[in-house]
């Protein structure tokens, strides 16, 4: 046991409740990791990849029902429904706790219970927060080991009395005596619960082993619980990448970007700029914790220690940095397996291999009319695997620009700048994006509102969240705070093809953005904000037609009149009588600028 009485009492309580066969306190060493990885391979839970091609790497295949976050089974459990708000599923703790206690009862029979002390953020840093995850999933342990700082150093902090978030997880598949454990145990959909109790700083997750449902440091803690902590303590917990950019003169700037799940954060965080002389380095690819410091600037730090990235679409041309990052010491989930025991996913190579084992473990032959990998297949790799990891990845960095963005096939231009911080908050609040395979949903491809790319991650009432952004604004001034932009790499033409080449070419837009932060006269006014003066956009050596450019930067009054109607409807539905003043005022001004 540990030297912390509170922690010991909790471990005792969970052991008595879940009745695992044994309990292991995770010390966080590479040796433990290697041993557990070997166990997983021996027990048929994982496949060791070819050590010559992909050293120290594993492939896991999940149950076909357990492939992504489950928003319908994700709950914010607060005493008052109004503290949860209209965008989250609410159940009162009095109702939810007994249901879940019943599920957790004896849920770990036949399994080992792991206790993982972890830190979100660098160990001991004043911006960091501690957690302890109890889980019966070796897959979760291996992933948490990569995604967070784990082990004895953190246990020492917990033992010396630091607060921690209690994170309880079970795959929800107790084993009867003699019962064979499936490759990927989990519970049926209606028994899955991803529950957050912000009043207790506590997370209970039952029935899923996948990603954000189970690696509780990530979305559950670093966004949903942390957004509550951030509101109480005056900072921001956001679904954002953090990118360091050095221009050809050597000037350094930091940019954050909030795009919904599977909408390009990891790729922008690892951008390989096509513009000569520009250098990009990665600070974070999914989550940013941000605070206004004494100098009035907003500083961001990545609380994670690894990448849990989408494999689909990743290739030498689109993202060579990601490919280098996953060369070794990586866990793959739901990719296909090649004949020489390596991984393959859609677009990795222009032509697929002739033969693969698909993510179900079945034969796949070239020409088969189904995908061999899952669209939400992922890699888990340590930050330190990234060849362009910024040296300051463990220090808060001052943010010059915040990018919001999403997948919008129409209406939204490639880039526009908000008029000021409050207008930027409005722009964040009206974000829309096509639903992606990062969540289990029948409506993939349909545009939904995803304010601040945080729709599934705000751990409290969205009206309070928007007002909290205004409170952050009040901690400083427009002059010192980041400038706020909106990007859309995903505009499509009449043949449904992406118009903008994206990836490394996005550096052209980043250059324009940094010029804007320095007030260059490189823009045109439109009713929605500032768009590039095309003559001032660096399009050197880019093969793009005038027609494409016209579409990319058009602000079409007819389309926007329709959009504004939709925004009004959305505001009415979501906020009713709690619509924050900032949104009311900004919407009115937008209508005025369009002469509506
Ligand atoms: P989460 O990890 O789910 O939060 O996703 P993410 O926001 O980090 O998205 P990611 O960078 O993994 O990209 C998701 C998908 O979008 C991948 O298939 C990428 O190849 C694709 N993508 C990323 N950037 C671009 C871009 O600039 N243009 C185009 N066309 N596709 C992109
Ligand atoms: C996302 O869905 O935004 C992810 C993947 O980053 S998961 O960790 O599953 O939430
Ligand atoms: Mn994400």
pLDDT at 176: 94
| 315 belongs to the catalytic site | no
In DSSP notation, 81-101 reads HHHH-TTSEE--HHHHHHHHH
Interval 83-94 mean pLDDT: 98
Of ligand 2's listed atoms, the one at least distance from the Cα of 239 is 3
Taking the centre of ligand 3 as the mean of its atom positions, its distance from the CA of residue 239, in whole angstroms, is 6
Any atom of ligand 2 within 6 Å of the Cβ of 285:
no
Tens of pLDDT, residues 545-557: 999 999 999 999 9
The three-state (H, E, C) secondary structure of 474-509, written as one string? HCCCCCCCCEEEEECCCCECCCCCECCCCHHHHHHH
User: pLDDT tens digit string along 16-70?
Assistant: 999 999 999 999 999 999 999 999 999 999 999 999 999 999 999 999 999 999 9
State yes or no: pLDDT of 173 exceeds 90: yes
| Pocket of ligand 2 contains residue 379 by CB under 6 Å | no
Sign of CA dihedral 428, 433, 437, 439: positive
Mean pLDDT of 161-178: 97
Tokens encoding 337: 């397996």
Residue whose CA is at the smallest distance from ligand 2 atom 7: 212
> Among the options 263, 283, 315, 386, which is catalytic?
263
Instruction: Output the average pLDDT for the chain.
Output: 98
Lining ligand 1 with CB less than 6 A are 259, 261-267, 285-286, 309-310, 312-314, 318, 438, 489, 498, 502-503, 506
Tokens read off for 496: 């449904």
Atom of ligand 2 nearest to the CA of 218: 8
Write the pLDDT tens digit of every residue in 209-256.
999 999 999 999 999 999 999 999 999 999 999 999 999 999 999 999
Instruction: State both tokens at 45.
Output: 């839970």
Ligand 2 atom 8, closest CA: 212
pLDDT-derived band at 534 (thresholds 50, 70, 90) equals very high
Q: What is the pLDDT of residue 328?
A: 98
pTM (two decimals) = 0.98
Ligand 1 geometric centre to CA of 312 (Å): 8
477 — pLDDT class (breaks 50, 70, 90): very high
Give the integer Cα–Cα distance in Å for 70 and 255.
30
Whether 308 is in the pocket of ligand 2, judged by its Cβ within 6 Å, is yes
Tell me the mean pLDDT in the region 294-308. 99
Write out pLDDT tens, residues 175-220: 999 999 999 999 999 999 999 999 999 999 999 999 999 999 999 9
pLDDT band at 1 (very low <50, low <70, confident <90, very high): confident
Contact at 8 Å (CB) between 185 and 170? Answer: no
Contact 131, 181 (CB under 8 A): no
* Packing angle of the helix pair 557-575, 581-593 (nearest 10 deg): 160
% helix, strand, coil for the chain, step of 5:
30, 25, 45
| Position 260 confidence tier, pLDDT thresholds 50, 70, 90 | very high
Average pLDDT rounded to a whole number, residues 403-423: 97
- DSSP symbol at 243: E
From the CA of 436, how far away is ligand 3's center (Å)? 11
* Residue nearest atom 6 of ligand 2, based on CA coordinates: 261
**Residue 398: is its pLDDT beyond 90?**
yes
The yes-or-no verdict on residue 140 having pLDDT over 90 is yes
- Return the ligand 2 atom nearest residue 286 CA: 6
pLDDT tens digits along 310-340: 999 999 999 999 999 999 999 999 999 999 9
Taking CA atoms, 310 is separated from 144, 264, 447, in Å, by 17, 9, 20
How buried is residue 534: exposed, middle or buried, by Cβ count under 10 Å (0-12/13-18/19+)? middle
Q: Residues near 190 by Cβ (< 8 Å), separated by ≥ 6? A: none
Q: What is the pLDDT of residue 432?
A: 95
d(CA 522, CA 517): 11
CA of 73 to the centre of ligand 2 (A): 15
Nearest atom of ligand 1 to the alpha carbon of 490: 30
């Amino acid at each position: 046991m540990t030297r912390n009485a509170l922690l010991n009492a909790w471990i005792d309580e969970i052991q008595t409740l879940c009745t695992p066969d044994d309990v292991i306190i995770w010390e966080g060493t590479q040796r433990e990791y290697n041993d557990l990885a070997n166990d997983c391979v021996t027990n048929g839970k994982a496949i060791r990849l070819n050590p010559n091609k992909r050293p120290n790497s594993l492939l896991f295949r999940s149950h076909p029902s357990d492939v992504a976050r489950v928003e319908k089974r994700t709950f914010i459990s607060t005493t008052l429904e109004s503290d949860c708000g209209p965008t989250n599923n609410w159940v009162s703790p009095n109702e939810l706790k007994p249901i879940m206690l019943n599920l957790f009862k004896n849920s770990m029979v036949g399994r080992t219970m792991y206790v993982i002390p972890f830190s979100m953020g660098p160990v001991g840093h004043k911006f960091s927060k501690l957690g302890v995850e109890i889980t019966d999933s070796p897959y979760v342990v291996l992933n948490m080991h990569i995604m967070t700082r784990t082990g004895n150093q953190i246990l020492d902090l917990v033992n010396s009395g630091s607060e921690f978030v209690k994170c309880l997880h079970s795959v929800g598949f107790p084993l009867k005596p003699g019962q064979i454990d499936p490759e990927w145990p989990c519970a049926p959909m209606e028994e899955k619960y991803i529950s957050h109790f912000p009043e207790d700083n506590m997370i209970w997750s039952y029935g899923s082993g996948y990603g954000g449902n189970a690696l509780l440091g990530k979305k559950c803690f670093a966004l949903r619980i942390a957004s509550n902590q951030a509101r109480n303590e005056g900072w921001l917990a956001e679904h954002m990448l953090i990118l360091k950019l050095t221009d050809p003169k050597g000037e350094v700037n930091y940019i954050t970007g909030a795009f919904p799940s599977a909408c390009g954060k990891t790729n922008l965080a690892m951008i390989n700029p096509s513009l000569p002389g520009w250098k990009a380095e990665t600070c974070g690819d999914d989550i940013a914790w941000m605070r206004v410091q004494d100098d009035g600037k907003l500083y961001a730090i990545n609380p994670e220690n690894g990448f849990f990235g989408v494999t689909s679409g990743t290739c030498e041309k689109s993202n060579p940095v990601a490919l280098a990052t996953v060369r070794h010491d990586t866990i793959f989930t739901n990719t296909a397996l090649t004949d020489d025991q390596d991984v393959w996913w859609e677009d990795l190579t222009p032509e697929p291999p002739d033969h693969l084992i698909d993510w179900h473990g079945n034969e796949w032959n070239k020409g088969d009319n189904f995908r061999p990998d899952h669209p939400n297949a992922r890699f888990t790799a340590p930050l330190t695997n990234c060849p362009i990891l910024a040296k300051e990845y463990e220090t808060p960095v001052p943010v010059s620009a915040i990018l919001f963005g999403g997948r919008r096939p129409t209406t939204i231009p490639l880039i526009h700048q908000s008029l000021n911080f409050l207008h930027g908050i409005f722009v964040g609040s009206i974000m829309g994006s096509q639903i992606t395979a990062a969540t289990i949903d029948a409506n993939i491809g349909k545009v939904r509102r995803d304010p601040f790319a945080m729709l599934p991650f705000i751990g409290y009432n969205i009206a309070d969240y928007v007002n909290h952004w205004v409170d952050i604004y009040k901690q400083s001034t427009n002059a010192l705070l980041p400038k706020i932009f909106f990007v859309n790499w995903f505009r499509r033409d009449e043949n449904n093809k992406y118009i903008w080449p994206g990836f490394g070419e996005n550096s052209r837009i980043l250059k324009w953005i940094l010029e804007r932060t320095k007030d260059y006269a490189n823009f045109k006014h439109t009713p929605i904000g500032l768009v590039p003066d095309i003559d001032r956009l660096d399009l050197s050596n880019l093969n793009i037609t005038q027609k494409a450019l016209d579409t990319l930067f058009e602000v079409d009054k007819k389309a926007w009149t329709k959009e504004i109607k939709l925004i009004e409807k959305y505001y009415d539905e979501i906020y009713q009588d709690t619509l924050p003043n900032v949104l009311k005022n900004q919407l009115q001004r937008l209508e005025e600028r369009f002469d509506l």
